[in-house]
Every structure is written in C-alpha cells, then in structure tokens.
C-alpha cells in the first residue's frame, strides 16, 4: 500500500465524518450556502491556509505557500447536490426531501479536505497550492461563475487538476486519457402549449401531451439518422411534466432535455434539428411551443502533456497496475471543461467499484476510496512542486 495512503487511512475517520455531514445536508446548485460555510470553517481549522470565499457566489479557494518555489498548482473539487430523492437506507441518508448527493460531490470534497489537512501538516513541497472548491457543477454554472469572478487572475496557477469517482470502474484504480474525455451538454426546457379542458370532451381541447409525445419520438431519430456512426451523441428527455389528473387535459406540457455531443458541427446540427422538430410537431397538433436554453457545457479536453505527467505520478505513487492509461471517455459532461479552456491540466476518473451509476436514486459513494483520492492529490502536489 502507498505510504501516503497508509497515513491517510489513519485520517479516514475525519474524511468520513466530513463526507457524511455533507451527505446528510445536501444543497442544490447555486444554493450551497451552508455547505460552503462548512468547507471554509473546516479549512481554517487546519491552519496555514488563506481561505477566500464567495468566488462565483459560493466558490472557495484555499491557498498554502511553502518555500520559495514559483510554481502553483490548482486542485479542484465540486460540492453541489442533485434534485433527486435518495432511495438508500443509510445512517447518514439525506435529510432534505428531493435533494441528495447522488453524484459523489460530497466524497470529492471530503477527499480534497483530507489532502488539505495532510499537506498543511507535512508541507513536503516547494511552491503554492490552490484548493478550488466549486459550486454548481451539475448545472454548468459554477466553473464559469468562478472564472468570471477572476479565479485565475486572483489565484494564478500553472496547471489545474480535477477528478471524479465512477462506479463500475475497478475500485481504487485511476483512469487517465489525453484529449477529449467528456462531452459538451445543453440542458433545455421545451414547453408545448395547448388548450386545457375536460378529458371527456377532447374536441374542445388541444392536447399538449399528445403533441409532446410526438416530439419525444421524433427527437429520438436525430442522432440515429443524422450523426455519423463514428461520432458520438445522445439526446435524453429526462422529464415529461403535464397535468395532475387523468380526466383533465393539461394546458401545457414541459419536456426537459439533456443533449450531449462531441464536435461543434454535431452540436449545431442536433440543436438545430431539435428546434425544427419542436416547432413543426407542436404546430401540426395545433399547439405552440417555447424553448428555454440553459447554460451550455463544453467538451472536456485534457492537455496531453499534463495528462501524461499526472498518469506517471500516479503510477509511481500507486503502482502501474493501479493506473489505466489511456482510459475510457464518457458522454457525461463536466464543467471543469471551462477551467481547462483557461489553464493546462487534466481530469481523471477514480474507480468506485461495483454499484449503481451516479445520478441513480440508489447510488452510493464508496467511502473506501476516500484516502486513495486524497493520496492522489498529495502525490500530485508533492511531485509537481518539488
């Protein structure tokens, strides 16, 4: 076992406490006031860090400089939760109805806090670390908000690094990939507006559920018939909301879409086809439509040199058999992509072992990987800032 992991194993009780506290008290994107206060208070308790809060609303940067080195490294973790009802029976289950940490951001933050305490205690590096705790990853708002608030001007770094747990990948193994690793995302809301009325008198209504159903089916043809088989894209309609009673025709229906693409050309084509299909399908049923576009996400592109460096550091720290390089890519999205547009760096996956995928109501973060993730942050810092 890696020596740093062994030492962090002794600190794992604290990481579990931080993780379980955040898991019990989840907060949705851009509403993370209490979580941000908890993180800042915990960091100040370590001593040595300059802790700045309120960056991009709830973002935090903790800075620790050791020695006379002129290099600086940024380590980033996210801490927002999802609007999903947790279905796990845990002693630390979410106490907030309809909101839960079902992506593991509480675990990401606990790992970075564990590394922060270790680094403050050992100070076995020469340079500056910036610990970036970011809100609102799920909505693609947090990264851009922190950048607009002067993240890299106020807290300069030479490179920035991120990490995400992934269930289904081997527990405790690290996965690195240069270049494109995760997809862009566009989260849209489509409203189909009809005319409500009595379910037994349909001739006096214009049913937006029927029109919306047609939209759902037509949209599913976009990727299969328009995206080249060698490319990758997916359109998910994750919510279809209309009415409250079986004998009432609703006046409107809401569709919530997640559109993921990997090239600018495919993105433009897919979004254009969605606009066209929504307008024409709604009109064909006598309805009108509106599209509300969310904050677009970018393709996450890892810097080849920094990816190679990080993978080699992980191999030296954990053993070559614990590092998969090159690893897989996913059509999930990540707003760390915006930070990588500003600075060199890389994003890796940490295997969570068997279990439900993130965003599933029964997803569980594997607490066994807390010291492993924290050890990666320590190894990266000590190697990068020799």
Annotated binding site: 103, 105, 138, 164, 359
Supply the DSSP symbol for 23.
Answer: H
Joined tokens for residue 105: 């951001």
169 φψ region: left (φ > 0), alpha (ψ -120 to 50), beta (else): beta
Q: Strand order in 50-55's β-sheet?
A: 50-55, 59-66, 127-134, 72-78, 159-166, 345-351, 174-175, 323-324
- Tokens linked to 334: 């990540």
Residues at the annotated binding site for Mn(2+)? 103, 105, 138, 164, 359
Q: State yes or no: is 137 an active-site residue.
A: yes
CA 254, distance to chain mean position in Å, is 24
Contacts of 59 (CB under 8 A, 6+ apart): 36, 53, 132, 133, 134, 135, 142, 145, 146, 149, 151
State how far the Cα of 198 lies from the Cα of 162, in Å rounded to an integer: 53
d(C-alpha 94, C-alpha 115), whole Å: 25
Parallel, antiparallel, or unpaired: how do β-strands 174-175 and 323-324 relate? parallel
Spatial distance between the Cα atoms of 243 and 250, rounded to a whole number of angstroms: 5
Within 10 angstroms of residue 265's Cβ, the number of other Cβ atoms is: 11
Tokens in use for 88?
């796990």
Specify whether 97 is catalytic: no
Helices (H), 141-293: 142-148, 151-154, 208-219, 221-226, 264-284
Residue of 9, 11, 78, 80 marked catalytic? 80
CB atoms within 10 A of CB 16: 17
Q: How far from each other are the two terminal CA atoms of the chain, in whole angstroms? A: 22
How far apart CA 359 and CA 102 sit, in angstroms, is: 5
Considering Cα of 132, then 111, then 13, then 364, what sign does the dihedral take? positive
Q: Considering 27, 137, 186, 306, which one is annotated as catalytic? A: 137
Nearest to 165 by CA among 4, 355, 1: 355
User: Which residues have a catalytic role annotated?
Assistant: 80, 137
């Amino acid at each position: 076992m890696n020596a740093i992991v062994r030492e962090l194993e002794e600190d794992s009780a604290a990481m579990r406490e931080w993780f379980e506290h955040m898991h019990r008290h989840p907060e949705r994107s851009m509403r993370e006031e209490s979580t941000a206060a908890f993180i800042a208070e915990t960091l100040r308790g370590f001593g040595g860090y300059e802790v700045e809060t309120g960056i991009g609303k709830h973002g935090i940067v903790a800075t620790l400089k050791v020695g006379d080195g002129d290099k600086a490294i940024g380590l980033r973790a996210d801490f927002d939760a999802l609007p999903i009802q947790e279905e796990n029976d845990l002693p630390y289950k979410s106490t907030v109805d309809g909101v839960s940490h079902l992506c593991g951001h509480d675990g990401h933050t606990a790992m970075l806090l564990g590394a922060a305490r270790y680094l403050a205690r050992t100070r076995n590096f020469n340079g500056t670390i910036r610990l970036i705790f970011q809100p609102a990853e799920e909505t693609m708002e947090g990264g851009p908000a922190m950048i607009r608030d002067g993240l890299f001007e106020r807290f300069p770094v030479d490179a920035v690094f991120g990490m995400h747990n992934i269930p289904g990948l081997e527990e405790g193994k690290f996965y690195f990939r240069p270049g494109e690793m995760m997809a862009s995302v566009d989260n849209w809301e489509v409203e189909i507006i009809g005319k409500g009325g009595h379910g037994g008198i349909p001739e006096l209504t214009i049913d937006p559920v029927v029109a919306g159903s047609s939209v759902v089916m037509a949209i599913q043809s976009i990727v299969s018939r328009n995206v080249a088989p060698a490319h990758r894209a997916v359109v998910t309609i994750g919510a279809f909301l209309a009415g409250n009673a079986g004998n009432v025709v609703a006046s409107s229906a809401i569709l919530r879409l997640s559109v993921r693409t990997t090239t600018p050309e495919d993105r433009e084509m897919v979004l254009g086809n969605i606009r066209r299909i929504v307008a024409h399908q709604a009109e064909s049923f006598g309805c009108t439509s509106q599209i509300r576009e969310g904050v677009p996400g970018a393709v996450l592109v890892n810097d080849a040199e920094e990816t190679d460096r990080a993978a080699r550091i992980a191999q030296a720290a954990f053993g070559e058999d614990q590092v998969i390089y090159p690893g897989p890519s996913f059509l999930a999205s990540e707003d760390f992509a915006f930070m990588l547009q500003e600075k060199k760096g890389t994003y890796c996956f940490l295997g969570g072992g068997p279990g439900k995928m993130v965003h599933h109501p029964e997803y569980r973060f594997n607490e066994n990987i807390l010291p492993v993730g924290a050890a990666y942050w320590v190894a990266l810092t000590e190697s990068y800032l020799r």
